[in-house]
Structure 1
Amino acid sequence: MTATRRFAMIFGIVFLLVGAAGFIPGITQPHSHPDVRVTAGLGAVLGLFAVNVLHNLAHLLFGVWGLVASKSDSASRSYGKAVAVAYGLLLVLGLIPAMNLHTLFGLVPLYGHDVWLHAGLAAVGAYFGFIREQEVPLERSRV
């Protein structure tokens, strides 16, 4: 398995775990914000990362997508590109409180600790999607 496919698999698993964690009381602490209109499931995972039901569903979607993409090198690279672009955009939106862009018009909380997390996700996605050269997988030797 190439490193790019491994990236897609690991991101897929982590996104699935984070998406599920957002629905678990205790892992997700109560949280409120006046600009978030979709309050279903509104909380903070580990008391740090603001989420709601739409945010959790987006994590689950990226998780499933990552696992499916990990089946091929080209799909994994495309997934990396999509993660870079999507989370780069979410990073920028999370920095702009004007017009409620930091909550995606009240739909999804993108502010606070989510900003630096989205920056990291975008950077890793950009590396595997745009920067890392395609590689030839090493065949396992048979004894």
Structure 2
Amino acid sequence: MSAPKYMAVQGAAVIVATTLTAIGLLGFIPGVTTNLDQLTWLGQRSDAMLFGVFAVSALQNILHLLIGAAGYFLARSYAGARAYLLVGGAVYLALWLYGIFVEHGSRAHVLPLNGADQWLHMGLGAVMVLLAVTLAGQHDPTKRRSRMRTAT
């Protein structure tokens, strides 16, 4: 019986990477992002809204694209995919906490965040960590094969 070429955790990482890449791209498309002419690089003054709901800036869009690209790269291996989901989830949970604890209007608030962004970051972070933990029940097939070889 041969092991699957790709593990479920790798598939989950690709799905998350695709979602984040799409979000990053859509943040630059007129019509999908309202008030695109008011998109700022960073800061709270950006009035651009993805789907008319999520506050976005050029920095946020680029970060989503970079995190998505990292997901494609890391999904090539079981360990990389797991690390991507776990660390990426922790980053989004930290961003959620940043939005809660950094006073709106202060100079430390460099990203335009609203309530919808907060829910998205919390949900995305939780789902990514949950995927990393629950799909960890599958064992890396390359390690299993090497153990089996040394036992024989």
Which residue of the partner structure matches residue 43 of structure 1? Answer: 48
Task: Find the partner of 2:101 among 67, 86, 96.
Answer: 96
Task: Find the partner of 1:18 among 19, 23, 26.
Answer: 23
Runs (5+) with no aligned partner, structure 2? 1-5, 142-152
Which residue of the partner structure matches residue 78 of structure 1? Answer: 83
Which residue of the partner structure matches residue 150 of structure 2? Answer: none
Runs (5+) with no aligned partner, structure 1? 139-143
Query: How far has the Cα of 1:19 moved from its partner?
Result: 0.3
- Mark the CA change 1:55 to 1:42 in structure 2 (over 3 Å): closer, same or farther: farther
Could you tell me how far apart the structure 2 residues matched to 1:107 and 1:86 are? 16
Could you tell me how far apart the structure 2 residues matched to 1:48 and 1:38 are? 15
Could you tell me how far apart the structure 1 residues matched to 2:30 and 2:109 are? 22
Which residue of the partner structure matches residue 119 of structure 1? Answer: 122
Q: Determine whether 1:108 maps to 2:111.
A: yes
Query: How far has the Cα of 1:96 moved from its partner?
Result: 2.8
Higher-Rg member (1/2): 2
Kept in 2: contact 1:95–1:111 (CA 8 A): no
Q: Determine whether 1:60 maps to 2:68.
A: no
Report runs of 4+ in structure 1 exceeding 4 Å deviation.
none
Which residue of the partner structure matches residue 133 of structure 1? Answer: 136
Q: Deviations over 1:70-103 (max 9, x none)?
A: 11110001001111210011111112352647xx
Superposition TM-score, scaled by structure 1 size: 0.80
How well do the aligned residues superpose, as a CA RMSD in angstroms? 2.5
Could you tell me how far apart the structure 1 residues matched to 2:21 and 2:96 are? 20
Structure with higher helix content: 2
Could you tell me how far apart the structure 2 residues matched to 1:100 and 1:87 are? 21
Which residue of the partner structure matches residue 8 of structure 1? Answer: 13
